[in-house]
Amino acid sequence: MHSTEISIIFAVEINYKQYKAMKETISANVGGRAFTLDRDAYDRLNDYLTDVRNRVNDPVDEVMADIECGIADIFSQTLSSTGMVVTLQMVEATITRMGKPEDFGPSRATTPPPADGYTQLRRSRTDRSIGGVCGGIAKYFKLDSSLVRLIVLLFIIFGGLSLWIYIILWLIIPEEE
């Protein structure tokens, strides 16, 4: 092999390694115009728009449509042809021009409920001995239901809690759905 053949093969091998990892692309409509985005660019833009949506005031849809049109205009100016792909760097530059989500106001996003779904005190349907009161209290305070039952029993036996209070709680506390 000659040195020119080796250098050509070496150059082809380097180029192959550089382009070996293909990126997934997504077609998306931004501001009513179709664009092709890299997966990471799409995820970043989607996170940005979600964060901005949680911060803008009414009318949310109208403001978001204006923001998306502004982003689409920037993409159109940046891309030299319609076949080009929007990259993460283009999205970051666009976000810099449009402004940080914090610039649109404080977040209005609500915190999601806990994973176990208990935001209110409810009688348990599954963890019950009599009426589910102790099981519901245990789930609400994230305690072992046997411990709650033992404490309630001790209070009833030693006079700190009457059986009537348990019955009243049974009637007042709604059953879980």
177 versus 146: the higher-pLDDT residue is 146
Q: What residue ranges in the chain does DSSP mark as E strands?
A: 25-30, 33-38, 85-86
- CB contact at 8 A, 33 and 72: yes
- CB contact at 8 A, 140 and 118: yes
Quote the CA–CA distance of 28 and 47 in Å, as a whole number.
14
The CA-CA-CA angle for residues 7, 9, 15, to 5°, reads 100
The reported pLDDT for the residue numbered 4 is 41
* pLDDT tens-digit readout, 59-117: 788 888 999 999 999 999 988 877 789 999 999 999 999 998 888 888 876 655 555 55
Biggest CA-to-CA distance, the chain: 100
Mean pLDDT across the chain: 80
Side-chain-side CA neighbours of residue 81 (13 Å)? 2
Residue 154 has pLDDT above 60, yes or no: yes
Share of the chain above pLDDT 90, in %: 17
Quote the CA–CA distance of 81 and 76 in Å, as a whole number.
9
Q: What is the mean pLDDT of residues 112-135?
A: 74
pTM given for the model = 0.51
